[in-house]
Structure formats: structure tokens, C-alpha cells
């Protein structure tokens, strides 16, 4: 195995991270759902108000894996690190790089003084599930994921605002 460096991502890493995101989307049979761009990711992650952080695994000048996370707030737990995506390029799997990246993400959660680290895994992704089980992760089958996509938000029509005192609503 070549020397692998694990480090925090920089803005110059975004194009290679984006390529890995597309690889992940293809693996998850959801390539059509990728709507962000490297340019937007650079703004969102390295602009004035970063929305996410990332850790990369690098060999030479090639990024071969990443974890992308953000801090969220739980009303029950407080500050939490949410691991949005985690991937090692298929060519480099089985070399322990995923372990290094995942451990670096755990250390980032500690560094950020969070009370919990959470993530999701598709129920059919057996290799990932087995990986997380080796870390003694709690796999919660109780929660159902819910979401609104951009087209829904763009076309949303207010339904109930007339039922509340509009003077107390703090929406523009």
C-alpha cells in the first residue's frame, strides 16, 4: 500500500471530492439525483459561512476517499456531527483507508465537542453495514427518513398561514 495521508479538505480538493460523490451516487443507483456542482460545493464548504467540512484520504496528489460532515443540533443531545457521505474509491477498498477516514471523522466529532455522531446507511448496503457493526455502531431501524426536494420547496403553496396570527410569524 502506498503512503496515505488523511487530512482536512481544502477548496482545491472539491473537484476530486465531487468526482467521488458522483461515484457514490452511481453505486447507490441515484446519479440523477446529484444536482450540486463543484463550484457550488466550493462556495458552500469554503465560503464565508461554511455549511460542511470534509476529510480526505490522499495518495500522492490523488484523493481516493472522503468523509463529508456538518454540525447539526439535536433538541435532545445538543451539538452533533452528521456524517453526510463517506466513500473510498472502489480501487482502494480493502486497504484500511476507510478505517483511517472513519476514525478521523470520529476524532473530528470529538474535536468539535459534539455529543453524538450520526449517519445513515442504505439497508441493502451490506458491506457498509458490516463495516459499521465492526465499530459497534448503533444501527437504528426505528426511524423513517423524510424529505422535501427542491422542486417541492420551489412550488410549495402556503396552506395554513391563515389559521395563525401572522403578526407572530417570523417569516419573510
Give how far Cα 45 sits from Cα of 16, 68, 76, 119, 167, Å.
14, 10, 27, 19, 35
**What are the pLDDT digits (tens) for 94-123?**
999 999 999 999 999 999 999 999 999 999
CA-atom Rg of the chain in angstroms: 18
Grade residue 1 by pLDDT with cuts at 50, 70 and 90: low
Q: Which fold has domain 5-142?
A: Aminopeptidase (3.40.630)
Determine the pLDDT at residue 158: 72
Rama region for 136: left / alpha / beta (φ>0; ψ in -120 to 50; rest): left
Grade residue 3 by pLDDT with cuts at 50, 70 and 90: very high
- The residues assigned a catalytic role are 132
Long-range contacts of 142-150 (CB under 8 A, 24+ apart): 145/120, 150/35
In the chain, what are the domain boundaries? 5-142
Determine the pLDDT at residue 161: 65
Global pTM?
0.88
Range list of H helices, 9-149: 14-27, 38-46, 97-111, 126-134
Cα separation of the two ends of the chain: 55
**What are the pLDDT digits (tens) for 24-75?**
999 999 999 999 999 999 999 999 999 999 999 999 999 999 999 999 999 9
Q: Which three cell numbers stand for residue 119?
A: 449517519
Give how far Cα 67 sits from Cα of 9, 82, 105, Å.
9, 10, 7
Angle between helices 38-46 and 14-27 (to 10 degrees): 120
The rounded distance, in Å, linking the Cα atoms of 30 and 118 is 22
Amino acid at each position: 500500500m502506498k503512503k496515505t495521508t488523511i487530512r482536512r479538505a481544502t477548496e482545491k480538493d472539491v473537484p476530486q471530492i465531487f468526482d467521488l460523490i458522483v461515484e457514490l451516487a452511481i453505486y447507490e443507483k441515484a446519479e440523477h439525483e446529484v444536482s450540486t456542482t463543484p463550484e457550488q460545493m466550493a462556495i458552500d464548504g469554503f465560503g464565508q459561512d461554511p455549511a460542511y467540512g470534509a476529510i480526505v484520504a490522499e495518495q500522492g496528489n490523488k484523493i481516493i476517499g472522503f468523509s463529508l460532515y456538518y454540525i447539526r443540533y439535536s433538541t435532545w443531545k445538543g451539538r452533533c456531527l452528521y456524517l453526510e457521505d463517506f466513500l473510498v474509491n472502489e480501487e482502494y477498498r480493502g486497504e484500511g483507508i476507510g478505517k483511517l477516514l472513519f476514525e478521523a471523522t470520529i476524532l473530528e466529532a470529538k474535536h468539535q465537542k459534539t455529543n453524538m455522531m450520526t449517519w445513515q446507511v442504505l439497508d441493502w448496503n451490506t458491506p457498509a453495514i458490516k463495516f459499521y457493526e465492526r465499530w459497534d455502531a448503533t444501527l437504528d431501524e426505528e426511524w423513517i427518513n423524510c424529505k422535501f426536494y427542491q422542486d417541492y420547496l420551489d412550488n410549495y403553496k402556503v396552506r395554513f398561514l391563515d389559521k395563525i396570527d401572522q403578526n407572530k410569524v417570523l417569516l419573510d
